[in-house]
Copies of this chain bind each other. A is one copy, B any other.
Amino acid sequence: MVAGMSSHPPLPPPSRTGRPRSVEAHAAILRATRAALVDLGWSKLTMGDVASRAGVAKTTLYRRWANKSELVVDAVAVLFDELRLPDRGSLMADVEGVVLQFAALLDRPEAKTALMAVVAESTRDEALRKRIRSAIVDRQKCLVLLGRERAQARGELPYEDDPAQAARNADLIFDIIAGAVVHRALVSAEPVDREWAHSFSLLLVNGLTSGVASESES
């Protein structure tokens, strides 16, 4: 599930006939998109500029992505392929690890300017929301799930019997971690450094391990 399946779907009908779509063009476009994000930021990035950076016609872009938002989602999604969570031996250390991983990603200028923008766009675009979820959010959530499994194996966290409750719980933790990091980095615009990661993790783990988080109410 965490396997590096990064075959994005914009090559859907591998038509038997006709000239096949250029693979180099595909890669060049995504590369050019990231470069344009770094140079120009989301709002000043234009399809024409991406095309000319990639040495490609605008037509070629629109043959593969419906609009700027979807292109950018795919372009930054590959950054999330790098996410790994080495086992650091404790829940606390693993949380710190995942926080710093997220933070490092958000520190890259192409991610910083693009992520919030596409999310903002997705509030009015269901298709985009789905694409973001599958290309970005799910990749992040894997790390949270992985961390929980490890903590449960270590005995730091109990196993949850109700799978629905387990899912809700994971979602909550994911929203807390990702939300806090994003808010710190982009809204407060303060660095997510080792100290902050430590304080945050301490607070989160203490809350998690008090064992009452999974109670439910009507």
Q: Are B175 and A91 in contact (CB under 8 A)?
A: no
Task: Tell me, in angstroms, the Cα distance from A137 to B175 when the chains sit together.
Answer: 19
Copy tally for this chain in the complex stands at 4
* Total count of chain A residues near the partner, CB < 8 A: 65
- Stretch of A8-16, A23-31, A81-89, A110-118 at the chain-chain interface: A110-118
Task: Tell me, in angstroms, the Cα distance from A203 to B169 when the chains sit together.
Answer: 10
Q: Are A206 and B214 in contact (CB under 8 A)?
A: no
Residue A188, interface by CB 8 Å = yes
Q: Chain B residues with Cβ under 8 A from A188's Cβ?
A: 137, 171, 174-175
Task: Tell me, in angstroms, the Cα distance from A209 to B168 when the chains sit together.
Answer: 17
Interface centre among A113, A116, A211 (most CB of B within 10 A): A116
Q: Are A205 and B209 in contact (CB under 8 A)?
A: yes
